[in-house]
Structure 1
Amino acid sequence: MIDFIRKTSRPLRALGRATVFFLKVFPMLPSRPVDWVTHPPLIERVQYPTTDGIAEGEIYRPSSPGRHPGILVCLGVVPFEVNHPQVPVLGRALARAGFAALLYWSPAMRDFRLDPKDINNIALAYQWLIEQPFVDASRSGLLGTCVGGSFALMAAAHPLIRQQVSFVSAYAPYSSLWTFSRDIASSTVDEQDGRRAWKVDSLTRKVFIHSLTAFLYPEESGYLCRTFLEGEELDDESSLSEDGKAVAALLSASSLSEAESALEHLPDQIRQAFSEISPLTYAEDLQAPLVVLLHDRGDQVIPIGETRRLCAALGQRPGLYFTEMQFSHLDPAKGKLPPLKLLREFSRFFGAVSRLFHHVVD
């Protein structure tokens, strides 16, 4: 009888947990009643392994006994510190909704760089998470936002964990660093009727420049960062190494053809890294039964075409869901939508994330 009741009530319990998460993750929504019917989460400072040694992070988990679905959250590149009040909002929302959430902060991304090493580190952190006594490994997965979503997808395909990932969700990921870099360098994006001009977000360009120049000698890296981020004049290109000249050519490209030519002439080390940190490289190895992707149509940080290409590569595989929205890079306030349109976009977001809860509620 108890099993029958749990089985028949599962859809309602999943809906309830999805509602708790939805109300708590958006600060502008009235969520005080949620606090009356849910317990405050436990927040623990923990240590987990990485390829560089032991890292520290925080787990947000329900205070109720038993084993809970685990979720590794890849926060990506964020323009604020780890103690910013927005950071624990997501952790608390997940915990109140029933997840044990480990927030993964990448030192490279906090330095505005994308590093292939993070794929291994995320996989190691996830393996550690699902081995905890309060986590049910069979109902666990990864969640990422922005470039963190791309790394969550790549880590989910890692040989260490790919058979132990029940779901992966990514909000506004890029699919390929090749196409993404082409768009950034040329300030254009693909549309159904051709390419159009794209006003590249300042954070996107900053990460692009820092990631490219990280492969150069520190003197050259600093020089090119000052040139292309601070406007210092590039007055002596002849003093650059061959690799430095190749990077400078891409950063100074003023058209699509120049960007494509510069990409073809990048040093082998950078070309290899581009492929290593492109989710399309790992599409065939992604085995998670549930893949939930979301992206804003007018996203200025990562163009929506990146997720569309990713969906096309993943094909008609079962368990793949893609939702297009009209927030502004996961921020409903920035879009300044009329109330009815805002309600519609909230409903789309709720429908997408509800799939995660229906998948993991036992």
Structure 2
Amino acid sequence: MHHGFRAALTAGPPSRLHRARLTFTAIWRTLVFLLKVMPMLPSRALNVLIPEPIVTKLRYPTSRGTVEGDLYRPATPGPHPGMVMCLGVIPIDVDHPQIPRLGEALARSGFAALLYWSPAMRDRRLAVDDVADIASAYAHLLEQPEIDPARSGLFGTCVGGSFVLMAAADQRIRGRVQFVGTFAPFSSMWTLAEDVASASRELDGKRIPWEVDQLTRAVYVRTLTEDLPPDEAARLRVVQAEDGIGTDTTYLSDTGKLVASLLKPQTPDGAHSLLHQLPASQQQQLTDMSPITYLSDIRAPLVIISHDRDDTVVPVGESRRMMQALEARPGARYTEFEMFQHADPTKRSLAPLKLAKELGKFASGLYPMFRKSLGS
């Protein structure tokens, strides 16, 4: 009788109570993150309720040697869910106030977050080596005693979102990634390059003009010219920055002339043709930096993709194509916003009701990640 009574107490209702507690905790952590990461929202009261995070340096191996990154973690005892966060190419310095704000927001909401910085991305270009390096950073993070590998994952914004998706497919870590979160990623370097070269993008089944953001243009130019002889790359970058590519390309190699043509205005079909005339090695790099080709190797049970509808840096069509490729996959979630200017909520002014609705979408879109980070 006694054992039967105890079994009855620990079956059914306690299990529902446990799930309810996890749900409440996930909601609370989502709200904490929302309040701490959004600069327009009041959050000082949380500083009293939640201890100040601990910030340490974590050294980890990469293709360029051992590097050091900032690890933001809760002050409470672990183990904690871990996260490698890749911010991609951003027009601010690594010591900008928004960076520690993000790290603090993640730590106060329960994550031990390692901020991954790419020298290539800081140089406004994309390099395939970052895929393996992000995976290495994640593998090393999971080895830390304060991290719970069973509740950890990756997150990235802008091109960082694309690279964490590709890193999640790395065979060293793909079985140990519980979630992948992205904001404003591109799905394919091929389609993104065509859009930049043609100054157009697809939206709702139509191709429309696109005023390419200067940051996007800079990354496009520096990435395309990276494999040219240094003198050609430097010259093309300078003339592109000054007044565009002129008619005199006699000083360029055959590949340099192709790249120069891609830096001039093109039609979508013209850009497509030129890209497929690049050397095989350069075409392979475009494919190797296209997350849509990695999706079948991602094992994470939760994949979150989000994008601002009016993003001027990476067209929203990139995330829509990614989601179309994932639509039959359980655990794939997509949210589209109208409150950001490429992940920056401070550059758009919304009416209070509209802002409240968008903040609700933001929290709802991130909630599954916080729930996944609590385990079962």
1:18 aligned onto 2:22? no
Q: Of the candidates 313, 330, 341, which is equivalent to residue 343 of structure 2?
A: 330
Q: Of the candidates 124, 139, 152, which is equivalent to residue 140 of structure 1?
A: 152
Corresponding residue for 1:216?
228
Aligned ranges for residues 1-362 of structure 1 at < 5 Å?
6-231=18-243, 234=246, 236-326=248-338, 327-362=340-375
| SS of 2:286 mapped into structure 1 | helix
| SS of 2:70 mapped into structure 1 | strand
Give the conservation status (yes or no) of the 8 Å contact 1:332–1:342: no
TM-score (ref. length: structure 1): 0.97
Distance 2:268 2:294 in 1: 27
Structure 2 letter corresponding to 1:84: H
Structure 2 letter corresponding to 1:339: P
| SS of 1:90 mapped into structure 2 | helix
Shift of 1:101: 0.2
| SS of 1:54 mapped into structure 2 | strand
Q: What is the number of residues matched between the two proteins?
A: 362
Distance 1:153 1:209 in 2: 23
Distance 2:245 2:365 in 1: 47
Structure 2 letter corresponding to 1:103: L
Distance 2:315 2:105 in 1: 27
Shift of 1:230: 2.1
Give the conservation status (yes or no) of the 8 Å contact 2:32–2:46: yes
| SS of 1:39 mapped into structure 2 | coil
Structure 2 letter corresponding to 1:340: L
| SS of 1:270 mapped into structure 2 | helix
Show CA shifts across 1:65-86 (max 9, x none): 1200000001100112211111
Shift of 1:333: 2.6
Q: Which runs of 5+ in 2 are unaligned?
A: 1-8
Structure 1 letter corresponding to 2:257: K
| SS of 1:215 mapped into structure 2 | coil
Shift of 1:239: 1.2
Distance 1:230 1:87 in 2: 31
Show CA shifts across 1:247-283 (max 9, x none): 1111113322321221121122210100000001101
Distance 1:179 1:279 in 2: 12
Shift of 1:216: 0.6
Shift of 1:33: 1.1
Distance 2:202 2:304 in 1: 23
Provide runs of 4+ in structure 1 moved above 3 Å. Answer: 1-8
Distance 2:275 2:349 in 1: 37
Structure 2 letter corresponding to 1:92: E
Give the conservation status (yes or no) of the 8 Å contact 2:169–2:297: yes
| SS of 2:370 mapped into structure 1 | helix
Q: Which runs of 5+ in 1 are unaligned?
A: none
| SS of 1:244 mapped into structure 2 | helix
Distance 1:65 1:340 in 2: 39
Give the conservation status (yes or no) of the 8 Å contact 1:246–1:267: no
Distance 1:306 1:141 in 2: 22
Shift of 1:235: 5.2
TM-score (ref. length: structure 2): 0.93
Distance 1:235 1:246 in 2: 13
| SS of 1:344 mapped into structure 2 | helix
Distance 2:344 2:105 in 1: 16
Identity %: 47
